[in-house]
Amino acid sequence: MIRALHRWPGLLALVLVTILALSGAALSVFPAAERLAAPQAGAGISVAELAARVQEAYPGVEQIRRAPSGRITAYWFDADTPGSAVIDPATGRGVASADPYPVQRWLTNLHRSLFLGDAGRMTMAMAAAVMLVLSVSGVLLVARRMGGWRRWFARLRGPWPGRIHTEIARVAVIGLALSSATALWMAASTFDLLPDGPAAPALPTEVSGQSGAALATMAPLAATPVAELRELSFPYPDDATDVFTLKTDRGTGYLDQGTGKLLAWAEPTGWQRVSEIALMLHTGQGAAALGLVLGVMALGVPVMGATGVILWLAGRRARPRIRGNHPAKRAATILLVGSEAGSTWGFAATLHGALTAAGQSVHVAPMSGFDPGRYPLAERFIILAATWGEGQAPATAKGFLDRLAALTSVPDAPLAVLGFGDRSFPAYCAFADEVARLAAAKGWARLLPIDTVDRQSPQDFARWGRALGEALAIELALAHQPMAPPTKALTLISRRDYGAEVQAPTAILRFALPEISLWQRLTGRGFARFRAGDLLGILPEGSDLPRLYSLASERRDGFVEIVVRKLPGGLCSGQLLALEPGQKVRAFVRRNPGFHPAPGAAPLILIGAGTGIGPLAGIIRGNRKRRPVHLFFGMRHPDSDFLYGEDLPGWRADGRLARVTTAVSRGAKPDYVQDALRAEGAEIARLIRGGARIMVCGGREMAAGVAEALADFLAPAGLTPITLKARGRYAEDIY
Amino acid sequence: MKSLLTTLALTTALTLPGLAQARPVTLTTTLSGYGGDGAYLVLYVTDARGAYAGTLWMAGDKSKYYQSLGDWYRATGGNPAQINGITGASVGAGQSLKITLDLADALFDAGYVLHIDAAVEEMRDSPNEIALPLTSAGAGKPVRGRRYIANFRYDM
C-alpha cells in the first residue's frame, strides 16, 4: 500500500516534480546573493533617520520598502517621472537598479505556474502535494527498510539504485517535506483558501489637516529600527487628508502627516504570521542559509527520480504478467504471493504455468488480498513468501498475518508454504516461517511441510516442485530461470577423481579462464572478477535450468575450479563427471558476497564436508597474507575421497593453512566433522572469543550439527551462532 | 487584446444618480512594456467631493494582492462585494484591457473622477496611476498613466 502510494504518484509526476526541484534549487541562490549584495543598515538606525535621508536625496519619495534580505528600495517621482533604486541606508542615495532580475522572474513563474496562469499554479500545487506524499511514504519505506526508526542512518545493503535512492532520501526528505508543505500552504493562501488576508486598520476619519511634519521628529518612526521596517508609504503631496502608512514586522499603522502621531494600528493575525513563516521557509527570503540548504536537498530529486525509475523497471521486469489467471471463485488452486521487489512473482508465474499445463485451475493473487470467503472451489492453498528486512512481511503480504490471526475458522483446503530468502541473512525466510507457524497454530491442514528457496535457486524450486507434484499426483517440472545471464563456454583443462570406492564419485574440475572483454574487465562483470565462494552456474545440455556450484578458485588463480559429486540420476552432475579435458560447458558467474572471508587478519575457522571443501580450499589457496586458518574436513574414507588431500601439505608448509583436522565417517569408529569440532571445543571457543570468523560449507545436516556443537561450547562465553551471524562472523553456504 | 462586453448592475452609488438613462461606454487601457509580470489594475470612480463612489472593473483575481492597489484598498477595505462579478485576469506588459459598460449618464460632467490603481509583483505599487474627470468632452482623448499605463481612453 505504502509502496504503491510512493511508486505511482512518483512516476506520474516525475517530470513536474523534477521541474519543481530544479527551478527551486536555482531560485534558492537569489536570497543569499541578495543578502550579500544589499547594503545593510547599521544596527542603531531608525526608520525616521532612513526616511529623512532618502527624502533629502529624493524629495518626491513615495515609498520605502525593506526586503527580508535587508535590501532597501525607494520609489519616487521627480517631475512626474517615476524613479526607483536600491538605497544605501548610510547615505539615503541609490546604489543599484531596483528592477527585478529577468532570470529570477522567469524561474519564479516556471516554478509556480509553468507560465500557465492559474491552471499552471494548480498543476504545480498538485506536484507539491505529490512531493509531500512521496516524502511521507518515503519516510515510512526507509524506516521499514532499515528495520526501525533508530536504525535510520544504519548501513545500507542491496543493489546500487536502491542504495543511492535511500542514501539521498534519508538526508533530503526533511527539506523536501518542508518545501512541499510550505508550498501547499502558499498555494492555499494564493487561492484564498486561508483566512490569512491582511489586517489593515480602518482608515482614520479625523486627521489634523496640517502637513509638513519633519520625518525625523515623528515618534513612531523614530521608535522603529530599520531592521523591523517592511514598507513606509508617503502621503500624496497635495492631499492634507492623506496619511503615512507604516508596515513593520509588528503590524500596520497610519501616521498623521501634520503631527506625526500614530492614528491607527493593527497587528497581523495568527494566520498571517503563519503564512509569513511559510513564505520565509519556502523561499529563503529572510533565511538565506536555510534556503541554500533546501536548494541543495532539492537537487537530490532528479537523482531519486532516475534511481526510482530504475528500481521500478527492475521490479517490473522481474514481475511477469500472469496469463490465463483464473478468477478466485472458479479456481481449485489458490496461489498467494508475498513479494517485495517482485522476483517471487517470477516463480509464481512459472508455478502457475506448470500447474495450468497440468490441467489445474489456478488463481494467483498477492497475499495481502487473502480473503477466505472468496474461494468457494479451493482445493488447496499455496503461499510463496519472501521476507523483507529483518523478518518483516514483504510489500504484497502486508496485513496477511493479522487477517489470518483474526480468522475464526481457517479454510478446509490444505496449505503449502514456500519461503524465499538468502541464507546469508540472519532472518532467512523468517516471514514464511511465521506464516507456516501461525497457520499450524490455527489448525490449517498441511499440504506440504514448509520448504525454502535460497537466493532464487532454481534447484531448490524444482525440488519443491517435485514434492508438490507428488502431493497432487501430477507430473510437475518447474524450470524457473530468474534471469538469463549470458553464459561463456568453459574448457576443461584437468580433472581429479575421488570417491568411487565409497559410492560417492566426485571430481575436482578445473576449467580454463574464458576470454574476458575489455568492457567486462573495466566493470568487473562476469568472469572478470570472482572469488572463492562465489557461484558458478552451469547450463547442462537439454535443460534451461542452471545448476549452481560453489567456486573453488578465484580470478587471480587463473582458472575456474569446482568440486562436483555425481548424484544418482543427476543430469548436470552426470554430464560434468563425464567431461574430458578439452570439452566445454556453458557457464556464468553469480556473486555470493555472503560467503567471502571478511577482510582482516582475524583467524578463520573453515568447516566443510564432502564437496563442501571446494570454496574452503579456494579460500586457503588465496590466503596469501597467511592469516591463521584452521580447517575441519569431514570425509568418508581418507584413501578414497580426501579431496585436496594432495594440496593440503603444501599449503600447510607455506603457511596458508595453520591446522587441519579431519573426520572420517566410514571406519571402525565413525567420526563426523561436528564430532571433531567438539573434541577441540575449548580451543575453538578461545579462537572465537579472540575474534575468529567461521565459515561452514556442506550439506544441511552437517551444518545443523556444526551449529549445534558450536552453540554448546560457545554458551559459556555468552555467544551463539545466531549472534555471530548477525555480526557477520558466521557464514554458511548450505545445499 | 482583451475585449469584454459587460452589462453591469453597478453599485448603488453609481446607479442612483442616473435613474433614467445609461449608455455603453468603452474603456481601453494599454500598458507599456515595463518589463515585469502581469499588472493588477482596478478602475473605480470618486464623486465630486472625492468620496469613493464605486468600482467599474478589477483586473486580477488573487485577493491577497489587492492591498497593493493602495487607494482603492483604503477606500473599500478590499471588500469583495465591491468587485463581485466584475473581476477579470491581470493584464500583461504591453497588453490592452478593453471593457464596455453601461454607465449612467449622470456620471458625466458632474464632477465624477475615474481612477486606476496599478500594481506589479516585485515592482512599485502605483495607486492613482490615472485620475481622469468623466466629461462628455473628454471622451476619445487618450491620457498617459504615471508608471505602467501607456494610454487610457474612454469612448461613448
Residue A563's pLDDT band, with cuts at 50, 70 and 90, is very high
Residue where a domain stops, chosen among A594, A619, A646: A594
Residue A94 lies in a domain: no
B126 neighbourhood in chain A, CB within 8 Å: 82
**When comparing pLDDT for B146 and A299, which is higher?**
A299
pLDDT for B102-128, tens place per residue?
888 888 999 999 999 999 988 888 888
Cβ–Cβ contact A238 with B under 8 A = no
Mean pLDDT of A344-373: 88
Cβ–Cβ contact B74 with A under 8 A = yes
**When comparing pLDDT for B74 and A390, which is higher?**
B74
Q: What is the ipTM of this complex?
A: 0.77
* 8 Å CB contact between A565 and A505: yes
A123/A126 Cα distance (integer angstroms): 5
Mean pLDDT of A599-617: 92
Mean pLDDT of A52-69: 92
Inform me whether the pLDDT recorded for B10 exceeds 60: no
- Residue from A671, A456, A454, A495 nearest A583 by CA: A495
Residue A318's pLDDT band, with cuts at 50, 70 and 90, is low
At residue A551, the pLDDT reads: 95
Residue A330 lies in a domain: yes
SS (H, E, C) A680-707: CHHHHHHHHHCCCEEEEEECHHHHHHHH
Determine the residue type at A560. Answer: V
Residue A73's pLDDT band, with cuts at 50, 70 and 90, is very high
Inform me whether the pLDDT recorded for A482 exceeds 80: no
Residue B13's pLDDT band, with cuts at 50, 70 and 90, is very low
The backbone region for A575, taken as left when phi is positive above 0, alpha when psi lies in -120 to 50, beta otherwise, is alpha
CB spacing of A233 vs B122 below 8 angstroms: no
Edge-to-edge strand ranges of the sheet holding A559-565: A547-550, A535-539, A584-590, A488-498, A506-512, A559-565
A50/A58 Cα distance (integer angstroms): 12
CB spacing of A200 vs B74 below 8 angstroms: yes
* 8 Å CB contact between A60 and A52: no
pLDDT for A410-444, tens place per residue?
899 999 999 998 776 667 889 999 999 999 999 99
Cβ–Cβ contact A109 with B under 8 A = yes
Determine the residue type at A427. Answer: A
Q: Does residue A449 sit in the same domain as residue A507?
A: no
Q: Does residue A385 sit in the same domain as residue A465?
A: yes
Inform me whether the pLDDT recorded for B20 exceeds 60: no
Residue A483 lies in a domain: no
pLDDT for A372-383, tens place per residue?
888 999 999 999
Determine the residue type at A2. Answer: I
Residue A310's pLDDT band, with cuts at 50, 70 and 90, is confident
Residue A491's pLDDT band, with cuts at 50, 70 and 90, is very high
Cβ–Cβ contact A205 with B under 8 A = no
SS (H, E, C) A508-530: EEEEECCCCCHHHHHHCCHHHCC
A588/A438 Cα distance (integer angstroms): 40
Q: How many separate domains does chain A show?
A: 5
Per the DSSP assignment, residues forming a β-bridge with B130 are: B116
CA triplet A522, A527, A529: central angle to 5 degrees? 60
Q: Does residue A70 sit in the same domain as residue A213?
A: yes
What DSSP character marks residue A228?
Answer: G
B124 neighbourhood in chain A, CB within 8 Å: 62-63, 75, 82, 84, 98
- For residue A252, the chain B residue with the least C-alpha distance is B67
Inform me whether the pLDDT recorded for A217 exceeds 60: yes
Inform me whether the pLDDT recorded for B3 exceeds 60: no
Residue A97 lies in a domain: no
Per the DSSP assignment, residues forming a β-bridge with A506 are: A498, A565
Range of the structural domain that residue B14 is part of:
2-155
| Nearest CB to A82 within list B63, B77, B147 | B147
Q: Strand, coil or helix: what is B72?
A: helix
CA torsion, points A492, A495, A501, A505, in degrees to nearest 10? -30
Cβ–Cβ contact B78 with A under 8 A = yes
**When comparing pLDDT for A141 and A389, which is higher?**
A141
Q: Does residue A466 sit in the same domain as residue A558?
A: no
| Nearest CB to A63 within list B78, B122, B125 | B125
Beta strand ranges found along B84-124 (DSSP E): 87-88, 96-104, 113-120
Q: Does residue A543 sit in the same domain as residue A556?
A: yes
CB spacing of B77 vs A202 below 8 angstroms: yes
Tell me the backbone φ, ψ of residue A356, rounded to 5 degrees. -65, -40
Q: How many separate domains does chain B show?
A: 1
Range of the structural domain that residue A381 is part of:
319-472
CB spacing of B124 vs A105 below 8 angstroms: no
DSSP conformation letters of A417-453? EEEEE-TTSTTTTHHHHHHHHHHHHTTPPBSS--EEE
Residue A95 lies in a domain: no
Inform me whether the pLDDT recorded for B98 exceeds 80: yes
At residue A486, the pLDDT reads: 77
Chain B interface mutation, best of A61, A75, A104, highest count of B Cβ atoms under 10 Å: A75
Residue A477 lies in a domain: no
Q: What is the CATH number of the domain that holds A400?
A: 3.40.50.360
Inform me whether the pLDDT recorded for A395 exceeds 50: yes
Highest mean pLDDT among A455-459, A605-609, A697-701: A605-609
CA distance B122 to chain A (A): 6
Mean pLDDT of A191-213: 80
| Nearest CB to B67 within list A75, A117, A198 | A198
Residue A390's pLDDT band, with cuts at 50, 70 and 90, is low
Q: What is the CATH number of the domain that holds B62?
A: 2.60.40
- Residue from A601, A706, A582 nearest A658 by CA: A601
Neighbours of B16 (CB within 10 A): 13
Inform me whether the pLDDT recorded for B82 exceeds 60: yes
B64 neighbourhood in chain A, CB within 8 Å: 189-190, 192, 196-198
Cβ–Cβ contact B37 with A under 8 A = yes
- For residue A115, the chain B residue with the least C-alpha distance is B37
At residue A320, the pLDDT reads: 63
A296/B153 Cα distance (integer angstroms): 51
Q: What share of chain B is helix, strand, coil (3-state, %, to 5)?
A: 15, 45, 40
pLDDT for A693-732, tens place per residue?
999 998 888 888 898 888 888 888 788 888 887 777 888 8
Chain B interface mutation, best of A121, A122, A191, highest count of B Cβ atoms under 10 Å: A191
Task: Determine which of A216-220, A543-547, A692-696 has the lowest per-residue pLDDT on average.
Answer: A543-547
Mean pLDDT of chain B: 83
- For residue B68, the chain A residue with the least C-alpha distance is A198
Percentage of chain B modeled with pLDDT above 70: 87
CA distance A101 to chain B (A): 9
Q: Does residue A393 sit in the same domain as residue A447?
A: yes
Chains A–B, number of C-beta pairs less than 8 Å apart: 48
Q: Does residue A427 sit in the same domain as residue A564?
A: no
Q: Does residue A556 sit in the same domain as residue A587?
A: yes
B67 neighbourhood in chain A, CB within 8 Å: 198, 200
**Full-model pTM:** 0.62
Cβ neighbours of residue B116 under 8 Å, at least 6 residues apart?
A: B29, B41, B42, B43, B128, B129, B130, B145, B149, B152
Residue A158's pLDDT band, with cuts at 50, 70 and 90, is low
Residue A98 lies in a domain: no
A721/B38 Cα distance (integer angstroms): 72
Q: Does residue A258 sit in the same domain as residue A147?
A: no
Residue A479 lies in a domain: no
CB spacing of B37 vs A245 below 8 angstroms: no
Q: Strand, coil or helix: what is A191?
A: coil
Inform me whether the pLDDT recorded for B18 exceeds 70: no
Mean pLDDT of B58-74: 89
With residue A650 as reference, give the H or E element that holds it: helix A648-653
B150/B143 Cα distance (integer angstroms): 8
Q: Does residue A519 sit in the same domain as residue A558?
A: yes
C-alpha cell recorded at residue A402: 493479522
CB spacing of A75 vs B61 below 8 angstroms: no
Mean pLDDT of A444-458: 90
What DSSP character marks residue B54?
Answer: E
Mean pLDDT of A56-85: 89
Mean pLDDT of chain A: 88
CA distance B73 to chain A (A): 9
CB spacing of A99 vs B147 below 8 angstroms: no
